[in-house]
Amino acid sequence: MADKILDIPLSEEEIRSLHVGDVVYLRGPIYTSRDMGHFTLKQYLDEGKALPVDFNGAAIFHAGPVVKKRDDGGYDLVVIGPTTSIRMEPYHEMVARLGVRGIIGKGGLAEDSLKQFAKSGQVYFQAAPGCAVSLAEGIEKIDGVYFLEHGVPEALWILRARKFGPLVVGMDSHGKSIYAEIRKSADARNKELYG
Amino acid sequence: MWNVESMGKIVDDMIYRSTTTISPDVRALMEKAFAEETNDTAKSMLQAMLENERMAGEKVKPVCQSPGFPTVYVSFGDKSLPGCDLKKVWAEALVRGTNRQLLRPSMVHPLTRENPGDNSGVGVPNFEIDYVPDQEYLDMLVSFKGCGAELANAMQIFTVAKLEKGNDYAGLKRWVLDAVIKGGGKPCPPAAIGIGLGGQMDVACKLARKAVSVRRWDDVNPDPLYGRLEKELYEAANSLGIGPAGTGGKTTLLAVKIEGASTHTAIAPAAITFHCWTARRAGVRMYPDGRVETTL
C-alpha cells in the first residue's frame, strides 16, 4: 500500500477521517513548539499581539532541533526528533483556539486534550522517539525561526517537510487514545500481579 | 599523568562516541528485542530505532536531538590522580561538542530558563567523584541521560509495612510497575530503570541514577536478593504491554538495575530513575603509564 501523505494546512475533514493506529506522513510547513513556545504564544494571545505565523490547519511539533548556523545567517537542520508531549497538556485550549489540527510528539497527551480533540477536530501523531537522524531526512530545510531569544530548543522553527514520518495516530478525534487504552490494561495487569 | 590538553582529547573522544552511538551492551539488547518482538508496530518501531542509530554513526550526527543532562562518574586512587582540573576540562569539552553540533545547547537557568547557548552553566556537567585509595587507575564514565525520561521518575520513603515485606515486597514491586505504567511512552521506551534503595532521599536518588548509568545493562547483580528482584521486575514490566514508544508491544524495559545502601531502621527510601533507549554513554580506564582502555 502506498504511504499516506497529508498536506499542511490540514483540513478538519481529513483529520476526522483518521483513527488511532493509522500511519501517515506530513508534507508542508511544520512549526516546532514546546514549553517556552507555548508559554510565549499564550502571552501573545493574552496581550492581543499579532502571531508570527498562521496556525490555521497547522501541524505543531513538540521538538527542539540541533541546527548549524550558516555564514549567510540562515540555519541548516542537523537532526530533530520529538520531545515528551505531556508538558504541553495545560495548553490544550489555546492550541485548539489557534486552529492547530495536528500535534506531533512522543508519549501522548492526557484526558483534557482527548476531549478537546473530539470537540475541535485535532489529532496527536506519535513520532519514533530517539530517531532524530532518520526523522530529519524528511525535512527539506528550515524556512525561518522566531522566539530565538528563548534558546535553540525552545524557539519556533519553521520546518519545510517533504515527507515527514512515519507518524502513528496515537490519539484521534473520536475519543480514542492508544495511551489511555494501554494504561488501563497495564493497571489491570499490575493488580493481577501484586494486588 | 594527564594535563588539560591530553585529558581534553580523551574527553572530546568520549563525547563524540557517546553522542553519535549508543553503548554496545544496549545495542545488543535492542537487536535481541527486535528479534523477539511479536507486535508489528513494536517491531517496526524497534527497526526504526536501530536504523537511526546506525545512520547517526555513519553520518556523524547525534543519535537524538536532545543530549539530555550529563553526569560524569570518576574514581581514582592515590597513584591515579587526574593531574588536571577535570571539571574545567569537561565544561570546556561540552562547549566544543556544542559548537560541533554533537550537543544541542539545552542547559538553562532553573527558573528564568535563560539559555547561554553553549551548554555552560552552574553544575554542568554534574560530577560524581569516588576516591578509592588503592585503585591504580582512573575510571571515567559519561552518561548523557535524556530528560523526557526524568518526567517519569519517582521517589518514596517506604516503611516496613508499606514495603509489604511479609508478601515478598509486593508494595515496592507494585509501586515500581505503577511508575512504569504512568511513564508510558514518556521515557522513550524501551527504557531501563535504575532503582536506588536505602540511605535518605538524596542517597536513594543518586544510587538510582548511578545504577542505570554506570552498570552494563546486560550484567547480573552479584547480590542474590537484588538480582532476583531485578529479574522479576524486568519480566513483570514486560508483561504490561506498553511497548516501544508506548504504543504497544512486549518490549517495555531493556533492563532493571538495583543498587542499595544501608538505611535507618525507621525508613526504606526508594527512588526510580528512567533511562531512554538511547544510552549515550562512554567510559575509559586510564593508567598512570598513559595507557587508555575503553570500558564502555
Question: Is A81 close to B64, i.e. CB distance below 8 A?
Answer: yes
Output the pLDDT for position B2.
85
Mutate to test the interface with B, among A43, A61, A66 (most CBs of B within 10 A): A66
pLDDT confidence band for A46 (50 / 70 / 90) = very high
Identify the active-site residue in A38, A92, A150, A174.
A38
Q: What is the mean pLDDT of residues A40-63?
A: 97
Query: Looking at residue B1, what is its pLDDT?
Result: 72
Average pLDDT score over residue span B265-287? 98
Which chain B residues are Cβ-neighbours of A79 within 8 angstroms?
56, 61-62, 64-65
The Cα–Cα gap between B9 and B220 comes to: 33
Q: Which residue of A has its CA nearest to B240?
A: A186
- Find out whether A60 and A30 touch, Cβ atoms under 8 Å: yes
Calculate mean pLDDT across residues A56-62: 98
Contact at CB, B245 and A128, closer than 8 angstroms: yes
Query: What letter does residue B86 receive in the DSSP assignment?
Result: H
Tell me which fold the domain A5-194 belongs to.
fumarase (3.20.130)
Chain A residue numbers with beta carbons less than 8 Å from the beta carbon of B64 are 79, 81, 130-132
SS3 B145: strand
Average pLDDT across chain A, whole number: 97
Is 80 exceeded by the pLDDT of residue B51? yes
Tell me the DSSP string of chain A.
Answer: -PPPEEESSPPHHHHHT--TT-EEEEEEEEEE--HHHHHHHHHHHHHTPPPSS--TT-EEE-B--EEEE-TTS-EEEEE--BPBGGGGGGGHHHHHHHT--EEEEBS---HHHHHHHHHHT-EEEEEPTT-HHHHHTTEEEEEEEE-GGG-TTTSEEEEEEEEEEEEEEEE-TTS-BHHHHHHHHHHHHHHHHH-
Q: Which residues contact A66 (CB under 8 A, 6 or more apart)?
A: A77, A78, A79, A80, A132, A152, B61, B62, B65, B101, B103, B104
Across residues A55-72, what is the average pLDDT? 97
Cross-chain residue pair B41–A21, CB shorter than 8 Å: yes
Domain boundaries, chain B: 4-21+63-146+279-294, 149-275
The length of chain A, given as a count of residues: 195
- Binary contact (B105, A128; C-beta < 8 A): no
How does pLDDT run across B164-210, given as a tens digit for each residue?
Answer: 999 999 999 999 999 999 999 999 999 999 999 999 999 999 999 99
* pLDDT above 90 coverage of chain B, percent: 99
CA-based nearest distance B121→chain A, Å: 14
User: ipTM of the assembly?
Assistant: 0.94
Question: Is there a catalytic annotation at residue A92?
Answer: no
Smallest CA–CA separation between B8 and chain A, in Å? 23
- Is A1's pLDDT higher than 80? no
- Write down the pLDDT at residue A2: 84
Chain A with chain B: Cβ pairs closer than 8 A: 179
What pLDDT is stored for residue B177 in this prediction?
A: 98
Residue B106 contacts residue B67 (beta carbons within 8 Å)? yes
Interface of B with A in 159-218 (CB under 8 A): 167, 170, 173-174, 177-178, 180-182, 184-189
Residue B5: the pLDDT is 93
B26 touches chain A (CB under 8 A): no
Closest to A81 (Cα-Cα) out of A12, A164, A13, A142: A164
Report pTM: 0.96
Q: Does B113 touch chain A (CB under 8 A)?
A: yes
The pLDDT, as a whole number, for residue B255 is 98
- Which CATH class, in words, describes the domain spanning B4-21+63-146+279-294? alpha beta
Cell reading at B91: 565544561
Encode pLDDT of B177-188 as tens digits: 999 999 999 999
pLDDT over 70 percentage in chain A: 99
d(CA B276, CA B287): 32
pLDDT at A76: 98
Under an 8 A CB cutoff, do A130 and B105 touch?
Answer: no
